[in-house]
Chain A
Amino acid sequence: MKNAIGVEIPEYIEGLGKLEPFQGVWKSIIEDEVPSTNISRTLKAKKPHVSKLCKNLEEAVKRCKPFDGMTVTCHHHLRGGDGVLMQTIKILDEMGIKDITLASSSLTSAHDGLVSYVEKGMITRIFTSGIRGALGDAISVGKLKYPAIIHSHGGRVRDFLTGRIKPDLSVLAASAADEEGNATGAHGPSAFGSMGYADIDARYSRNVIIVTDNLVEYPCVPCTVRQHFIDYVVKVDSIGDATKIASGTTRITNSPMDLRIARIAATVIEHSGLFKNGMSFQVGAGGASLAVAKFLREDMKRKNIIGSFMIGGVTSYGVDMLNEGLFHSIFDVQSFDAAVSSSVLNNPNHIEISCDQYANPNNCGSMTNKLDVVVLGALEVDVDFNVNVITGSSGEIRGASGGHSDTASGANLTVVVCPAFRGRLPIVKDRVHTVVTPGESVDVIVTERGVCVNPAKPNLAAKLKEAGVQVVDIRDLKEEVEKMTGVPAEKKLGDQIVGLVEYRDGTIIDVIYNVKNLS
């Protein structure tokens, strides 16, 4: 069956069940109704004054009675420094547990070691928002038994609520926790800031273990994760590599190309009609996307604009803008550097939110639905404004869906920033290799060689032209770039499906086939 963007979607995949094709950004969201598929939570009763403390992670895992075919979940707030997920898998493997479904909110360079567990069939399914490095390569050549499912951040929460992901064991790292499992990431030697992605795991998993390197006096304050969801608590020496968990402050790029793209993007925002008091805003955490914040900051000061809130992926740069009074508040689902943790802890206007509140399409108040402007990156874009943030130039899985499609769907103005070509590879394509965010939800693509406005927004194009922005037809831009770079050879792909991209509503928007050559 074909979905709304013309991709052939299999009706059924062994090991994953029936698939629904993507129908359009808002087609399957039924307003003011409780989705019939929602499941109830699975909390276990405890008797009074029973200790939840276990002497190590192994004991805690054993007390959760792991079994073959179970689903294990983690959060990715420890990023490249995570030491908890690998430890958990190792323990389960040593116990002889097989056929694991891994549903971590994202996977990073810290999880390259999963390759051997995938190869021997100990892990057979993966649900996640991002896969990189050696694991991405291994899955791309077809080593995972069933196709990996790539969901968005909001989609993951929906997957839990509808039972698409049924977590049996959740091992959640915290930088501070107490004996009952009240936990936070806002302080402690391994502080990582917001713990937003862990909230849904705590609420919906059959067994929840809090792992911390910093057991504090009861009660742990603030308590993002609350004790009534927690089964066991483990104090360990280390939850990972603190220098890779969160370090320093985020710097704005020095790349002249990224700065030029960012300058143009900020000008687009200024003339979009949304640049006014009360504006809400989200940027990415690096490259041209974050650099837009630098120019927007200058523009806001110049024009005396005070924004309402920022959300996201919060960097120290965002915290600086909050402290300067350029925005009233920050809603923080994930913090990107060490300087953010203290702001989460100390500034009442820096509000830690769950991923449910951030981006779940099936609730009555996700922040992405209240967003005015979002600036997002891209690995590739196409003439229909579709965006790929998951597969690289060889077709290999090497990125993250993250909140890309969530924020794009909700924002009044979705701006995608990317260079017209990277190291000879054109970025504007006839069709992106993998669609993560449909063009329907993308308004503007900003490159160093011109700004492309979605034909569905003629008024925006007119406003920008009037303001002197260089608006170009996306097909003309593609031709101009290919004249310089040449037309790249077609990718050599196999016919095995190795990944499925799930849109935030649970439908399948694209399919990833195995690659034969990795560059």
Chain B
Amino acid sequence: MTPKFKAQAGTFESSDIMILIEPLEKDSGRKVDISSTVILQFEEDIKKTINQVLDRLQVEGLHLIAKDKGALTQTIEARVETAVKRSLGIQEGTM
């Protein structure tokens, strides 16, 4: 799937992560930019977590910007999933 809209999920609070998604041209793959307060300790881990969610939801053609303030893995997964679903226009529940 490819995103239809710009979307975001998360906050800039400590222990949370802000995920921004922008749709890209078709067939342009994924571009992931990460900044984090714990980049020295968890860079690979954060990258892996984000890509795993994108793989699971089978999304391509997007630019994902992550601004992390030390979120745990589960938090990262939830924020990425929510941002993706919003960008696809398939989110459920209240906004």
Contact = CB atoms under 8 A, between A and B. Distances in A.
**Do A and B originate from a single complex?**
yes
A485 B72 contact: yes
Give the size range of B's interface with the partner. 10 to 19
B70 interface: yes
B42 A423 contact: no
Closest 6 CB pairs of A and B: A423-B70, A488-B41, A424-B70, A519-B40, A424-B38, A423-B14
Contacts, number: 41
A486 B37 contact: no
Contacts of B40: 393-394, 489, 491-492, 517, 519
Contacts of A492: 40
B69 A489 contact: no
A489 B41 contact: yes
Interface of A: 393-394, 422-425, 484-486, 488-489, 491-492, 517, 519
A455 to B, nearest CB: 29
Interface in B16-62: 37-45
Given A424-B38, A492-B40, 19 more contacts: A393-B38, A422-B70, A423-B14, A423-B37, A423-B69, A424-B15, A424-B42, A424-B70, A424-B71, A424-B72, A425-B41, A485-B72, A486-B45, A488-B41, A488-B42, A489-B44, A491-B40, A519-B38, A519-B39
Contacts of A425: 38, 41, 70
Interface string B65-79: 000011111000000
Q: Max chain A CB contacts within 10 Å: which of B38, B71, B73?
A: B38
23 contacts: A393-B41, A394-B40, A422-B70, A423-B14, A423-B37, A423-B69, A424-B42, A424-B71, A424-B72, A425-B41, A485-B72, A486-B42, A486-B45, A488-B42, A489-B40, A489-B41, A489-B42, A489-B43, A489-B44, A491-B40, A519-B37, A519-B38, A519-B39
A423 B70 CA distance: 4
B55 to A, nearest CB: 19
B18 to A, nearest CB: 14
Interface of B: 14-15, 37-45, 69-73
Contacts of A394: 40
Contacts of B45: 486
Contacts of B37: 423, 519
A519 B43 CA distance: 12
A393 B38 CA distance: 8
A519 B70 CA distance: 13
A116 to B, nearest CB: 27
Contacts of A517: 40
A171 to B, nearest CB: 38
Nearest to B15: A423
Q: Max chain B CB contacts within 10 Å: which of A394, A492, A519?
A: A519
A391 to B, nearest CB: 13
A272 B18 CA distance: 44
Given A424-B42, A425-B38, A491-B40, A486 B15 contact: no
B57 to A, nearest CB: 22
Contacts of B42: 424, 486, 488-489
